[in-house]
Structure 1
């Protein structure tokens, strides 16, 4: 039995939405599937689009290498937000015959595309442009316009970053993690991407401002070109982090140990289950897991009755909105029991 991706799952402990649902130990959050992540991405998309247009105009007028790098950065972020919206929508599609566990892992595919785009369109371009400016320097002018655009960009990026921090902090509080630890560990790639990109954008704006100011003060375009290179290096580092996290979820990542312990406790609390000898919870989408385990059922029924009871236990576990599917087998008598 499968369920579509929901707002709760493997990195946010969850509980039964109704009495018949299987509990994994904690309270379910409200809202429609993916609503918080969609809002976070939508805010980032709107902010980055405005910023990209403003930076591009300012870069053309000032001819600043740092501003050009920042313009490329914002266009890359804008494209990435489109990928993340696609990721949210495709991952939320319900299970079908060909995908009994749903389409949750598509979120990591499209988020991986977004991270590669940040690497190429943002990082590689900025580094290449900065190196080109070192070889053939171009003097900048209209510095006041550049500072104004950078200041407005900082405010808009701050609005987007505040939304991602708000969502991440609420989720981190439930998981009893600190903010950064949760952003790195969450199975929600949209939240991680927007948080990391916004943090990098704010730092990149500071680097660009420093490069532009040094250009104005010294009269040399070299600091401006170095600022472009530093922005590129920053984006490459962030993209590398995002690529690696999406890769790990695509190849298979186990759920948080606290969620595993909660699921084990809930299984053992079921009157039908005497003991559990094997349990694996794998992340199969944003806040969504599959459950595989071996259990010893109570009583000593004939084989046909045991099969029916085992399927009933599977169905009960799959009733949780956080569970995409459940496969349970019978434990052998000599297998050691698991303890929560």
Structure 2
């Protein structure tokens, strides 16, 4: 239930960002055409790239939510990282590369004076819309970080939810980019030198490139099999040991197979000395019980190697397998 609630919250965050980016992209495009400002061209490219990326993120939410089947017993959660990776690459190519190349092409062109008021109005309106979208993603991130007793930024960088990370990063970059564009236009107006506007476009492109590279790297790590953090490991260990059939756990491996969903492999010693068939039934029963937790996509248990030392649990919330 909690996972579905968070999924619905992520979907709302993406839809809000998509709507804001479309409105802002249209306004920036009109301003860029009228004024010819290099910074506004960069900002328009940025917003259109963000809008396109939100479509990828909606696809990520939809496809990752499909239930498991015989071909994918751990579900389709990793699709979220595939589509989020597409979005990050799109941000790099359609946003960063276009902005940098356009800024470089405008260096030394000596643009004529123009009506700067249009740029200021569009930038102000864009800041309001982007601010609303960022506030939503920030609230969601802060709420989830508080549940895990960690910092908001730390949670955004480490979370297994790529949609939240992408929207948060893109909205934050959008607000910073608007400030850069404002100063590029302002310095152009004050000095009459178009190089400041061009440099603003280049700086926006560099900002987008940095954000895109971080997002690409995080999605790459989860696609390769990101191990669950110690907090989740300890919660899983406590969840296994609460079963009366289990005497000790000697091996535990958890890796993310989707947003807040893990694949669990454990080696355990069972209480007593039951027959092989009874042991298999006990292992299956414990695995089935673990899979009833919405954060466990699949659990596989086997018997411990003779003489293997037990893993020592710490005090953990057995429900906190996120």
1:292 deviation in Å?
0.3
Residue matched to 1:136: 109
1:7 deviation in Å?
5.0
- SS of aligned partner of 1:327: strand
Residue matched to 1:164: 137
Measure, in 1, the Cα distance between the counterparts of 2:242 and 2:125: 56
- 1:294-318 deviation line (CA, Å, top 9, x unaligned): 0011111111111111111111111
Measure, in 2, the Cα distance between the counterparts of 1:7 and 1:157: 28
- SS of aligned partner of 1:254: coil
1:63–1:139 CA contact under 8 A, matched in 2: no
1:1-340 map, 5 Å: 7-8=2-3, 31-32=4-5, 34-340=7-313
1:139 deviation in Å?
2.8
1:33 deviation in Å?
6.1
1:64–1:139 CA contact under 8 A, matched in 2: no
1:228/1:210 Cα in 2 relative to 1: closer, same or farther (>3 Å)?
A: same
Measure, in 2, the Cα distance between the counterparts of 1:133 and 1:140: 15
- 1:49-94 deviation line (CA, Å, top 9, x unaligned): 0000000000000110000000000000000000000000000000
Measure, in 2, the Cα distance between the counterparts of 1:33 and 1:186: 13
- 1:223-260 deviation line (CA, Å, top 9, x unaligned): 00000000000000000000000000000011121111
1:62–1:146 CA contact under 8 A, matched in 2: yes
5+ residue gaps, structure 1: 1-5, 9-30
- SS of aligned partner of 2:302: strand
**Alignment length, in residue pairs?**
313
Return the TM-score normalized by structure 1. Answer: 0.90
1:334 deviation in Å?
0.7
- SS of aligned partner of 1:99: coil
- SS of aligned partner of 2:107: helix
- SS of aligned partner of 1:81: helix
Runs of at least 4 residues off by over 4 Å: none
Please report the RMSD computed on the Cα atoms of aligned residues, expressed in angstroms.
1.1
2:162–2:259 CA contact under 8 A, matched in 1: yes
Structure scoring higher RCO (CA < 8 A, sep ≥ 6) equals 1
Measure, in 2, the Cα distance between the counterparts of 1:66 and 1:225: 6
- 1:174-198 deviation line (CA, Å, top 9, x unaligned): 0111110000000000000000000
Measure, in 2, the Cα distance between the counterparts of 1:309 and 1:204: 57
1:262 deviation in Å?
1.1
Comparing 305-314 and 162-171, the one that deviates more? 305-314
1:7–1:287 CA contact under 8 A, matched in 2: no
Return the TM-score normalized by structure 2. Answer: 0.95
2:184–2:200 CA contact under 8 A, matched in 1: yes
